[in-house]
Structure formats: C-alpha cells, structure tokens
Structure 1
C-alpha cells in the first residue's frame, strides 16, 4: 500500500510547550502529535508544520502534514488523534492532500493575532493568554503606527537575532488594532514573518500607545534596518497563529522559499 499525505489543522495552548519544534528533553507540539500518530498507527512519522511557533505562543489554525500508510480514512485522523493527544492540543480537521502539498512552502499567507489586556489589574483568566499592560494605551496612535507596516518592506529592524535568513523583505496585507472582549487585539496578515517579527512590531506599537515614541517613527525604523532602534519584544503568551492560507486554485503550487516563508518563525 502506498503512502498518502494528510493535512491537519491544529489548535493548541502554547503555554504548556517549549514551542512547536521537537527538542531534546522538552515538551513540544510537534513531538506530541508525532507520538499520537505512533500510538494509533504504529508508524514513526515526521510532522511538518507551516512554521515554528516559539515557547508560549498559541495557535488556532496551525497547519501541518505527514505521510502515512495507515488504512485510517483521512477525515477520521482528527477524531482518533484527539483521543490520545493531551488536552492542550486538538486536531480541528484532517484530510488527504496531494503528495505535492507542503504545509510550509505551499502557504501563500498567514494571519497572526496578538492580545493585550489593558487595565490596571491583572487577570487570572487571561494569564498566559494576553500581555497585561496596566498603563493606558492610545489605540488610535497604535493604529496609525500599524498602517505604516502595510505594503512590501524590509523588516530587518523587526527581526530578532538567531535567524538564518538572508532576505528580510516581507509583504503585509492587513495591520490593525481592534477592541475585542476587553482586550486590544492586533491582527496582521502577511506573506511571511521573520523570527519574533510580530512580537517586536507589537512591542514597538505598545510603546507608541504609551507615548514613548511617535507613530511616525515606524517608517524611519523600516528605513534604518536596525533592530536596536525598534521597540521591545512583546511576550510570547499574547501571540496566536490564527490562520494559514493556501491557493485554492493551485493548492500544490510552491512559492519561492525566500520570497514567502523562508525563515518564518515566531
């Protein structure tokens, strides 16, 4: 029997894990899913995600794929995997895809959300779910700052050290702040993201909201390409990988690795 490729959409609470990627002696989302697949199929497989998420980062729509010879119907994998996965991880859907499909390199864009709890007192409910900023934030100035990120830019100033990419140009399609359920929520959609890029963008815009820098400082940061001039890196636990998009008309088409998702890592 030949291999078939299965696409998974996965939701997880990142506060329980040391990130997506398998690491020695550390709990990881990828590792738990691979162990679950082994339990139900007896196969040692490699699960490939659309991108790595850092320790503490959550996901509502992480996408991954793996190859299997199992007779389990593709649509049933979500059900059976959820019977053996820990409560902090759930497979939302599973389906068979073409052998050419690649969770990372077939993706054409991603959406992240970042949640900021802006009130004087901390919240036990939102602990590890949002960044608590106790001082008043000016969401209007934060939205002015967010608008400067839209378009195709070199994001060197918003990339943390530890990356392995050479091309820092990414295109942002959506960049805006809204108020949702007592939090300020930043939504950003782009064709790819550098290491800690969304968290540094968020940290910089929070500094704008605290009147520590001007919204009009953003174009200067993009132009000067110096990480030391940008703002702080927001903590990981407010960040959510929200959705990964694929070309429905050409689902197996692969964009260039550097052009879209080279180095994608939050």
Structure 2
C-alpha cells in the first residue's frame, strides 16, 4: 500500500463524497460548530464553501472535544457542484488554516453516512513519561514526570473490555441516553519514554477515554492497585472516580467501516507513533450485534444492535 497516489484533476466527482481529515485541536472548541468559538467543523465548512462557491454542510464520524486531535476523522457531504478529486483536496487545503488538512476524498453511494455506518472508533492517548517537560511534542502529548508502570496499567484496563455500564467514566454533562458502551480492546504499552493507551470501541461517552486514562495513571504511579478500574466501574458514579486526563494527549486515529465502501487505507496516526507500522482496518472487529447491524446483516432475535 503506497502513501503516494496521484489525484485526478480531470474527472468531476458526482454524488455523495467521503473525505478524510486530520487536525490539531489545540486552537478549537472541538469538532462541532459553535457560534461563540472556533471549531474544526466551522473551518472545514468555510473552506469547502469557497471551493464550491456555495454553502456546504458536513457530517462527521464522531465529535472530538476541545483540544483533542484527529488523524482520521471521516466526514461526508453532498456537493452542490462537481469538482475533481484534486480540486477538492488541494482547493480545500489552500483555504484551511495550517492546523487542519484534508487527506483524501472519495465518491460513495448515497446510503453512506460517516456517523451511522461507522463500525468502530479508535483513539490513542500518548503520555510522555520523563523527568523533563516536553518541548517538540508539547502540543500532542501529556507529560507525566512520575515513573509509570505500563504493564500494571495494561492489566488493570482489561476489565473494561466488552460491553459495560461506563457511568463512572462519563462527564457530568454527557448527553448520551445510555452509559453502556462496547470496548473492543484497550492496550497500554511503553515505547521508550512514550506510554500509549490504545483503545477501540463502538462509540465513547463524553470524556470517557480521558477519565479512563486518569484512573490508569493513578495505577501506573502505584497509588492504587490493579483492581482500581474494576472498583470504579462497579461504583457507577462519576463523582467518586478519578481525575480527567488533559485533552492534548488524545488522538482520534481511526473510524472503521465495512470494506464494501472502499474507503482508503492509511497508516494509523499520529506520526509520532509511525514506527508501530499499523494501518487502518488491520485488526478484526468483534462478532457483536452492532457491527453486524451496521454491516447490513441480520441480527438475531433478542439481540440489540
């Protein structure tokens, strides 16, 4: 799989388009458009509108909070005018600020929806674990100067895998109707001074990953035992749980879809972790009702998607 592909500058793209977007969330209130503060959605819609000469409304695979980054945010929109692949990518990037960029664009059927057809979302949280504060990495890692036991953090996190009530890890202002989520996997590994929490699930509650990381750091420091995450989950009470980890270390690295949509495969980010060499879609998804439902396959009676 090559990183470099020529962009067609002759064939106008028609119909619904999917687009891969990368951004540094440091200067934004988050993904979603807000009147009182700059958002990634607002910046992207403005750039798309300039290329099209008309307003464009976009839909995203997931919302990221203020200060959170993304390397594979997938969006879709219905363009009001035809433009070539090169025009969409280069034209939009020319009108975007330097902390947001389009990576690719692809025609998709009208039945495609970036949010409702997503089978899973994946995040990586990066902790820089060293005595001195970060310099070059300061905008996209969380600094922890206390020694962390990554292996203990990994073992403690395994109780979260599967479908659970994550009330203890949701923000007070979370608007989700249910605290139940399905975590496909969560892994904690050390790579030199970097401690990486890699987590994938069907969806996530508001601040859920950052709240989980906050508790894992407490375990990593040796302040609590490996049973700590299980104890917090059993409480089902956010007010009795741990701190929320900073937003700057969190990266939205993948939104997964059925292979039939033919979306481009690309290396998982951020580039700080490029040495891991993993590409989107390489890990098999769990056999669960929600995944089967969104693939368009029948769900067994009694199983909720």
8 Å contact kept, 1:45–1:68: yes
8 Å contact kept, 1:76–1:94: no
8 Å contact kept, 1:3–1:69: no
Structure 1 residue 145 displacement after superposition = 1.1
| Per-residue CA distance 1:116-171 (angstroms, 9 max, x = gap) | 01111101112121111111111121011121111111111100011222211111
Name the structure where strand makes up a greater proportion of residues.
1
Match of 1:209 among 220, 228, 236: 220
- Corresponding residue for residue 33 of structure 2: 22
- Corresponding residue for residue 45 of structure 1: 56
State the SS of the aligned residue for 2:196.
Answer: strand
CA distance in 2, matches of 1:146, 1:140: 10
Q: Note the residue ranges of structure 1 that are not aligned, 5 or more in a row.
A: 261-266
Over 3 Å counting, the alpha-carbon distance change for 1:142 and 1:49 in structure 2 is: same
Structure 1 residue 180 displacement after superposition = 3.2
User: What TM-score do the two structures reach when normalised by structure 1?
Assistant: 0.90
State the SS of the aligned residue for 2:17.
Answer: strand
Structure 1 residue 179 displacement after superposition = 2.2
CA distance in 2, matches of 1:26, 1:157: 29
Aligned residue-pair number: 257
Cα RMSD between the aligned structures?
2.1
CA distance in 2, matches of 1:254, 1:135: 43
2:176 maps to 1:160: no
- Corresponding residue for residue 196 of structure 1: 207
CA distance in 2, matches of 1:250, 1:97: 7
- Corresponding residue for residue 117 of structure 1: 128
CA distance in 1, matches of 2:36, 2:184: 38
Range moving further from structure 2, 162-171 or 238-247: 162-171
CA distance in 1, matches of 2:189, 2:248: 18
- Corresponding residue for residue 79 of structure 1: 90
User: What TM-score do the two structures reach when normalised by structure 2?
Assistant: 0.79
- Corresponding residue for residue 184 of structure 1: 195
Q: Which runs of structure 2 are paired with 1:218-233 in the superposition (5 Å)? A: 218-233=229-244
Runs of 4+ aligned residues of structure 1 deviating over 3 Å after TM superposition are 253-256
2:204 maps to 1:174: no
| Per-residue CA distance 1:48-105 (angstroms, 9 max, x = gap) | 1111111110001111111112110346422221121111111111111111211111
Match of 2:245 among 234, 246, 257: 234
Structure 1 residue 250 displacement after superposition = 7.0
2:40 maps to 1:60: no
CA distance in 1, matches of 2:192, 2:234: 35
